[in-house]
Chains A and B, each alone.
Chain A
Amino acid sequence: MIKRPKPERFRLRRTMMFMNAQRPGLIKDAYIYGSDSIMLDLEDAVAENQKDAARFSLYHALTTIDYGSTEVIVRINGLDTPHWQEDIRVCVAGGADGIRIAKCESADNVKTIDAALTEAEKEFGVEVGRTLIIAALESPKGILNAYEICCASERLFGVAISGGDFRRCMQTKFDPSGIDMLAARGQMLLAARAAGIQCFDTVFTDLDDDEGFEAELRQIKAMGFDGKSIINPKQIRPVHELLAPTQKEVQQAEAMVNAFREAAAAGIGVFTVNGKMVDVAHIPGAERTLKLAKACGMYEGDLV
C-alpha cells in the first residue's frame, strides 16, 4: 500500500486538475502531466447509481498508485446527499491529501465536514487533522459567507469558486471580460487573504479557445489568485507559464532575500537593495516568488 507523506497545508497549487474517479483509464497515471494537484471527482462526474462503485475504485487507486509529489484531493458529494459520509470514510482510509466540499455555504458546513473527518481519522488510525479541506463556493450565499467559511477550520487550505453553478444562481453567463464573476472573485479573494488561506479560480470549459483562456489567466493573476481548477491536461502549461513570475521579479526577490539574510546574520535591522531601503514586510512575498520560480524551473538557488 502506498503511504503518502503528511499533506502540506500551504503548498504550491497552481493547477488542480479534475478527473472522474470512476474511470480507471484516466486516474491510473493522472500525475504524468505535471499538474500540482489532481482532484478525483466523486460528485458530478459520477452517476448517482455508481457512487458506490466509484468509492471502491477510488480506494484502490489511492492505495495502489504512486502519485508522487502530486497532491491528491477528492471532491466529495454535497452535504445534501446521502453519500458524503461514506465519501469521507473512503478518502481518509485511502489516505487522500484533502477533500473538496462542494456547494459550501457556511462555516457550519465546514465544521460538519471537519468533525466527520476527525471521526474517520480516529476510525482508521490516521493522525487527527491530517486530511485537508478546500471549500468550493458555488452560490451567492457561499460568497457572502466567504470570510466565516475561510476561518472555519485549521484544515482549510483554501477556497475555490465554482463558476457554473454560481453563474446560474446569478442569472448570468460566461463573459470574456470576467465581469460576470468580478464581484464574487473579489469578495472571495478578500476573505481568503484576510483569513490567510489560498484562493483558486473556477474552470475554463472551452478547450478550443486558447486566447480566452489566456485572457482569463491574466485577469486572475492580476487579481492575486493562487491557482486555477482545470479540466484537461492541455491547460496545465498555459497556467504554469502565465502564473510564473518574470525574470526581473525573480532577480529582485533573490537580491532582497540575500540582503535580508546577510543583514540578519550581521545583526543589522535595516538593509538595502540597489541602494534602496527595503521593508522587512516584503520578505515573505519575495520568498514566495522564489518558491514559485523554483517550481517553474526559473530559479535553482538554495534560498528557498
Chain B
Amino acid sequence: MKNAVGRDIPDFLLENGKEVYQGKNYMDGKYMQKVGPRTRRYETPQESKLVDTIADALRQCGAKDGMTFSFHHHLRDGDFVVNMVMKAAIDELGLKDLTIAASSLGSAHDPIADYIEQGKVIGIQTSGIRGRMGQVVSEGKLKTPAIIRSHGGRPRAIEAGEVHIDIAFVGASTSDCVGNSRGIGGKSNCGALGYAMTDAKYADHVVVITDCLVDFPNMPASIEAIDVDAVVVVDSIGNPKKIASAAARISQNPRELMMAEDVVKVIASTPYFKDGFSFQTGAGGPSLAANLFLEKYIDERGIKMGWAIGGITRPMVELLKKGKVGKVIDVQDFDLDAVNSINQTPNHFEMSASQYANPANKGAFVNKLDFVVLAALEIDTGFNVNVLTGSDGVLRGAPGGHPDTAAGSKVCVIVTPLVRGRMATVCEHVVTVTTPGDCVDVLVTDYGIAVNPLRPDLIECLDKAGIPHVTIESLKEKAYSIVGRPDDVQFEDKVVAILEARDGTILDVVRQIKPFTL
C-alpha cells in the first residue's frame, strides 16, 4: 500500500492495526494506552544492589532466550556496554533469539554483527545503525526486519508497549551502590542521560553499569535508584576519547561557511527571528557553523535566543555563557565542553528523550521549536530526506531527532552541498525516506536555496529580504548536470528494515541489497 510519501509498504507489515504514513500530525487528538512494566518489589531494606558481574546481573533479572535488552547511546562511538552485555548473555549464559533495542548503534558495535550472523541476535530496534552491523542487516542476515525509529518515536513506542523492554542496561558515568546514576563525575563522562530515562521507567528490570562508584546518594540523579534492580561495577564503560569528542571546532571549510551563512540569512528573514526565539542545530559542519553567524545576527538585531535544545556542542555552551541564550535543555552532549557544562553552567538543563521529542505525549520541546538546522545524505524534489541509507542502499546512518525536530519546528532548514563527490545530494527520489517532505521547509545548498512550496509565507520572507531562491527541481537538474543521472539502486525483495515515522506509522522500508554486477 502506498503511503503519503509515495512509498509502497508491503501488506504483511500492516497487521495488528499498523498503518502507513498518512502525513504530518495524523495521530493528533487520538488516545493511546500506556503500558506498565512488571517490576519486582524490594521491600526489605537493601544496603546495596551491587552484583559482581554482568552475568550475575543477567541471572538476577531472569534473563532468558527471546528477551529484549535496551541500551542508550550516550557513550557514542566509545561505548563498551552493548558489547559487554551481549557477550555475557550469549557467550556466558548461552542465550539466543535476543533483541537489542538501543537508542542508537554505531561502529563501536561491530562485534554484534557476529551474533547476528550466528542467529543469536534476531532483532534490532534502533535509531542509528552503521559499520558492520549495517552491512550484515542490509545483506539480510538479521532474522526479523530491523526497526528504525526517531529519538521521539522510540519513547513513544516504549510507552505504547510496541517494544517491551525486559532488561534495560544503563551505562552510567557515576552511580551509587543502589543505582542513582549520572552522566558526569567519573572517568567516562557523557553529560546528559536523556535517552535512558524512558527505558528506566518502562523496563521490567534495570541494570546500571558503571566504572565509577560514588557515595550514596549520587544527586541529582538522572536515573533514579527506585527503578534499578542491580548495579555492576566494571573497569571501563567506554573509551572517553570517543565518548565526547574534543571541542567541536567550527568548520574552516569555505563551502560549509558559505552555506552556514545562507542558513542564518534565511532564519533572520522570518518573523520568528525575534527576541526569545528557540533553536536547534545538528553537529554537522555547516549546521555547527551556523551558530557562528547566528551570533552575529543576534548582536546586530539586539536580541537574544530564548532557549536551545539538542544534541549540544561547544558553540551553544559559549552562547549560553555569554548570556546570548536564556536556557539550554539537553538530551545528549556531543563534546567535552557540553559535558562539562550540563548541570554546572546555570540554565543548562537535562531532559528525557520523551520530553525532547515524543510526538505522542502532551507536548514535547520540539513542538515549541522555532528553528532547526539539519543535514541530509539525500533530499528529493518532494523535500523528503534520507539520513539512513548510503548510495549503495546499505544502512549507515541515523534519523535521530531529525524527523521529530523537522515536524515540530516552525522552520526546518536542511543544509547540504549539492553534490558529494559524484553523488547528487539533491535527487529525484531518495533511496529511503527518513524525514517526510511535509516537515521540511527550506533547503540551503552551495548552489542555491529552495523553499518548499507548502510554505508560501517563507517564500515571501526570502523575497522581501532579497535572498535569491530557486526551485528544488532546478537544483536537482543542476546536480545531475554535474554528476550525471544516477541509475536506481537495485534491491532484492526481502525487507531488512522498517522505517517507522515518529507517530508509529510506516514511512518506508529498506530491502536487502543486491550484489552489483556490471
Contacts and interface: CB of A to CB of B under 8 A. Distances in A.
Contacts of B257: 234
A140 B276 CA distance: 60
Contacts of A28: 482
B254 A233 contact: yes
A33 interface: yes
B446 interface: yes
Interface string B418-440: 00010000000000000000000
Interface string A7-33: 000000000000000000100110011
A254 to B, nearest CB: 21
A33 B417 CA distance: 13
Given A232-B254, A234-B254, A32 B482 contact: no
B465 interface: no
Interface string B237-268: 00000000000000010110110000000000
B297 interface: no
B258 A29 contact: no
Contacts of A29: 446-447, 482
A56 B252 CA distance: 30
Contact of A32 (B252, B421, B447): B447
A233 B27 CA distance: 48
Contacts of A234: 252, 254, 257
Contacts of B447: 29, 32
A32 B421 CA distance: 16
Contacts of B446: 29, 32
A29 B421 CA distance: 12
A162 B252 CA distance: 26
Nearest to B466: A297
A33 B258 contact: yes
A233 to B, nearest CB: 4
A238 to B, nearest CB: 13
B339 to A, nearest CB: 27
A29 B448 CA distance: 13
Interface string B456-484: 00000000000000000000000000100
Contacts of B254: 33, 232-234
Contacts of B482: 28-29
Interface string A66-100: 00000000000000000000000000000000000
Contacts of A33: 254, 258
Q: Which of B254, B255, B421, B446 has most chain A Cβ within 10 Å?
A: B254
Contacts of A25: 421
A25 B258 CA distance: 17
Contacts of A207: 252
Nearest to A235: B254
Contacts of A233: 254-255, 258
B401 to A, nearest CB: 30
Interface in B466-511: 482
A30 to B, nearest CB: 11
A232 B258 CA distance: 12
Of residues A25, A29, A207, A233, which shows the largest number of chain B Cβ atoms within 10 Å of its Cβ? Answer: A29
A207 B421 CA distance: 26
A29 B482 CA distance: 9
B391 to A, nearest CB: 17
Interface string A28-65: 11001100000000000000000000000000000000
A25 B420 CA distance: 10
Nearest to A233: B254
A144 B482 CA distance: 46
Contacts of B421: 25
B353 to A, nearest CB: 38
A199 to B, nearest CB: 26
A44 to B, nearest CB: 21
Interface in A238-256: none
Nearest to A297: B466
A63 B51 CA distance: 71
Nearest to A28: B482
A31 to B, nearest CB: 10
B296 to A, nearest CB: 13
From B252, B258, B421, B447, residue with most partner A Cβ within 10 Å: B258
A28 B420 CA distance: 12
A288 B258 CA distance: 29
Contacts of B258: 32-33, 233
B484 to A, nearest CB: 12
Nearest to B261: A237
Nearest to A232: B254
A32 B449 CA distance: 13
A232 B254 CA distance: 8
Interface in B396-429: 421
A28 B258 CA distance: 17
Contacts of A32: 255, 258, 446-447
Contacts of B255: 32, 233
19 contacts: A25-B421, A28-B482, A29-B446, A29-B447, A29-B482, A32-B255, A32-B258, A32-B446, A32-B447, A33-B254, A33-B258, A207-B252, A232-B254, A233-B254, A233-B255, A233-B258, A234-B252, A234-B254, A234-B257
Given A25-B421, A233-B254, 8 more contacts: A29-B447, A32-B255, A32-B258, A33-B258, A207-B252, A233-B255, A233-B258, A234-B252
Q: Closest 3 CB pairs between A and B?
A: A233-B254, A234-B254, A32-B446
Interface of B: 252, 254-255, 257-258, 421, 446-447, 482
